[in-house]
Amino acid sequence: MTLTLPPGDFKAYLFDCDGTIADSMPLHYIAWKQALSEYGCNDFTEQLFYALGGMPVDAVVRQLNERDGLSIPMDAFAHRKESLYYDLIHQLQPVPEVLEQIHLQHGNIPFAVVSGSTRESVVASLSALGILHLFDTLVCAGDYRHSKPAPDPFLLAATRLGVSPEHCLVFEDADIGIQSAKAAGMACVRIAQPHERPARA
């Protein structure tokens, strides 16, 4: 399945990581569900997980704490969730149609990864796929003040690459990421989520 790109004179590609480059969302869901159950949160559906896609970990935990009257500690939870994800990372696969675009344009225009995940998590995922070296910069949680859907993450990536926003094309799977890209004045390609994609052979 080849992506249909919008028309435009694009001088940089900006990629979300989880669910866009890396088909990691099913693995992240397993890690989230396990970690949350250890802290007494047992009502975390896959539907809710995807609805919250792109939000920083602390924002999701804050929301679940308020919903369920829990006191899940942010740092300890984040560490545990990441540890569980790393236990599964050997199963990680790329999203084929996005990887195709990366290989088609690598060396022609600069690339950035723009993620709500930690730098450690992004580096681990891209390294597991063997493509970390293909990206000129990584914009991750902690690099910007306002998370997606604010435009800050994508604008920071454009600044680092020296490309104006209107010449950046964003690849995103999450609604708040698409909102962020549009708020930054960038064209966007929506990447289908796992339940929307045909099953692999």
Indicate the helix (H) or strand (E) that contains 137.
strand 137-139
Give yes or no: residues 56 and 105 share one domain: no
Give yes or no: residues 79 and 118 share one domain: no
Of 34, 55, 90, the domain-final residue: 90
Which residues belong to the active site? 16
**Domain CATH code at residue 77:** 1.10.150.240
pLDDT at 137: 98
Give yes or no: residues 152 and 120 share one domain: yes
Determine the Cα angle at 84 with ends 80 and 87, to 5°: 140
Give yes or no: residues 97 and 148 share one domain: yes
Q: Is the pLDDT of residue 201 over 80?
A: no
Give yes or no: residues 131 and 181 share one domain: yes
pLDDT digits (tens, 9 = 90+) for 130-183: 999 999 999 999 999 999 999 999 999 999 999 999 999 999 999 999 999 999
Give yes or no: residues 115 and 77 share one domain: no
Of 90, 112, 134, the domain-final residue: 90
Take residue 158 and report the two structure tokens written for it. 């454009």
- Indicate whether 137 belongs to any domain: yes
Please give the model's pTM, rounded to 2 decimal places: 0.90
Give yes or no: residues 119 and 80 share one domain: no
DSSP annotation of 168? E
DSSP 5-48: PPSS---EEEE-TBTTTB--HHHHHHHHHHHHHHTT-----HHH
Of 43, 58, 90, the domain-final residue: 90
pLDDT at 54: 81
Rounded Cα distance, 50 and 33, in Å: 13
The domain tally of the chain equals 2
Give yes or no: residues 48 and 111 share one domain: no
**Average confidence score pLDDT of the chain:** 94
Determine the Cα angle at 189 with ends 13 and 115, to 5°: 60
The alpha carbon of residue 161 and the mean position of all alpha carbons in its chain are separated, in whole angstroms, by 19
Pick from 170, 133, 171: nearest CA to 155: 170
Give yes or no: residues 48 and 99 share one domain: no
Take residue 189 and report the two structure tokens written for it. 């390609």
Give yes or no: residues 120 and 80 share one domain: no
Give yes or no: residues 150 and 77 share one domain: no
Give yes or no: residues 106 and 188 share one domain: yes
Pick from 27, 185, 145, 174: nearest CA to 94: 27
**Domain CATH code at residue 173:** 3.40.50.1000
Bridge partner residues of 12 (DSSP) = 168
- Indicate whether 201 belongs to any domain: no
pLDDT digits (tens, 9 = 90+) for 83-123: 999 999 999 999 999 999 999 999 999 999 999 999 999 99
Domain holding 187, by residue range, is 12-24+93-196
Rounded Cα distance, 200 and 149, in Å: 31
- Indicate whether 7 belongs to any domain: no
Rounded Cα distance, 3 and 12, in Å: 17
Mention every residue, 6+ apart, whose C-beta is less than 8 A from residue 94: 21, 22, 23, 129, 131
The alpha carbon of residue 156 and the mean position of all alpha carbons in its chain are separated, in whole angstroms, by 16
- Indicate whether 5 belongs to any domain: no
